A and B are shown apart, each in its own frame.
Chain A
Amino acid sequence: MSSAEMDGDGSAMMACLGIESTAHTFGASVVTGDGKILSDVRSTYRPPPGSGIHPREASRHHAAKAPELVASALRSASLHMDDVDCVAYSAGPGLGPALRVGAVVARALAAYYSKPLVPVHHAIGHLELGRLLTGASRPVSLLVSGGHTMILLPRRSRWRVFGETLDVTVGQLLDQLGRYMGLPSPAGPEIESLAGGGSRLLDLPYVIRGNDLSFSGMLTAAKRYIASGARREDVAFSVQETAFAMLCEVSERALAFSGSGELMVVGGVAANSRLRAMLESVARRQGARLELVPPRYSGDCGAQIAWTGMLHYSHGLSVDPRASRVIQRWRLDEVTLPWIDR
């Protein structure tokens, strides 16, 4: 669609302020109706090495950073709150105390400036921002983060789950292994660099049931290897090789099943270069194109919420601030998305 057409119905001129606060990251961003990211700022809470995210500490961090980040997002977009058409927030799934900070900030802004308030599912934010930035239309999508491990297809007004983890996510697998080895959290990058020094493949459970995956046995086995004195490099290497192979296998099946020519990967673990290289090969085998989100936008950020909020709002969705809430557990395939056709 040309920008002139967009201007015709005015949506290109619209702007959405999005607020992300599901876990480690508090983010704020302004995105326009035609998908231009005018600003995207964030701050990430870092727990001490060897320990995981503490929900209360994360929420304190978010509350302390929120005012300056929201102001900075508006300033870099050269907009005032009066110019914003709607306020979107990550309503879930995530850590209750962290989610509530974002919801309180968004509610307050929406109520004070009389703006429509739009709740957004965090993971749908990853997927929709991914489609916006890659230009993919109906991609087989691998969503790999701390909160999710799913292989999805956009079909019939929803993101449909083709396969998913039955227990821990890949992000949790890497984080919990990292924490066990005393690494800082999130541990993905450290595990990746350790894995670069490994070469011996240790035997780990490779569990696929139907199109679903299980990683909990792998986590237990990997910890046992560490406890019994195996080289950390070899354990990190083996966990990456085995877990990513499982993801690739189900992604390849989804490509073959759907006939989609696009494979997209989003979420924090998408930053891993070994995973990217393996998916590149999966796509090639199936005659598909691998669509990678720029690393800056593959992890949690305000832009995913602002853009998805924009999509919801332009399809008529907003909520009364008094009735707005956060949902700690919320399946993404329960959300109806009118912009996804059959």
Chain B
Amino acid sequence: MDRPIEIKELRMIARGAEADILEAEWMGVRVILKRRLPKEYLNPALDARVRYHRTVREAEILHEAKLSGVPTPLVYFVDPVNAEIIMEMIQGFRLKELLESGRRVDLLGVVGQHLGRLHSGGIVHGDPTTSNFILSGKVLYAIDFGLSFRSRAPQDLASDLHVIKEALESYHSDLSEEAVQLLMSGYSGAFDGSSEVIRWLRRLESSGRYRGA
């Protein structure tokens, strides 16, 4: 399928396990182009099917997150056949950098609130590390929904909390205990089902991983 409007690729931002993230120009605007690349070790028909469905799901969830009250990049164009999403480029500072400079620990309350709102809407982010939140002006955006999926199972939701806590403990270990408390109170305040999820989180943490026997 041809793109209705040409896109000019400017630079590679990140090459992940699953997709390339590029900065590009499209209709005179700076945009993000996310492209899922074919994998030569996969059967081509299977590869095409998986990339198609993943692309559609990611675009849908980017939209659904907004309905739950979590700012995400606007989706401008979806090309499931070529497994590409063209979306808004969020200009700002990554949460990771803001925490490293030690100034904006308060943002962890907003991160908790965002996760609570996503979970209220039945969305698991899948990879909520401190690199995947960007502060633009006064708005904290959640980005990279490449591993997101729909679920309301408390063990699935608990895995999101586990990922962000792990990120805080391993990359921002200088932060105080207060930082995690901010995160958790933001979460609990935004999501009615939080106590059940936190119970699962404790079980997960006490045994490395926990699944019902």
Contacts and interface: CB of A to CB of B under 8 A. Distances in A.
Interface string A209-240: 11100000000000000000000000000000
A210 B126 contact: yes
B46 A242 contact: yes
A241 B17 contact: no
Nearest to B147: A210
A317 B151 CA distance: 42
Contacts of B124: 210
Interface string B4-45: 000000000000111000000000000000000001111101
Contact of A206 (B50, B208, B209): B50
Chain A interface size range? 20 to 34
Contacts of B149: 209-210
B208 A281 contact: no
Given A209-B149, A210-B149, A281-B41, A256 B46 contact: no
Interface in A323-339: 329, 331, 333-334
Say whether chain B's binding surface is mostly helix, strand, loop, or mixed: loop
B10 to A, nearest CB: 24
A201 B208 CA distance: 37
Interface string B116-144: 00000000101000000000000000000
Given A245-B46, A334-B207, A256 B213 contact: no
A20 interface: no
A245 B156 contact: no
B159 interface: yes
A241 B147 CA distance: 21
B213 to A, nearest CB: 6
A286 B39 CA distance: 12
A248 B41 contact: yes
Interface in B140-172: 147, 149, 151, 156, 159
Given A242-B46, A256-B16, 8 more contacts: A160-B208, A209-B156, A210-B124, A210-B126, A210-B147, A248-B42, A253-B17, A333-B207
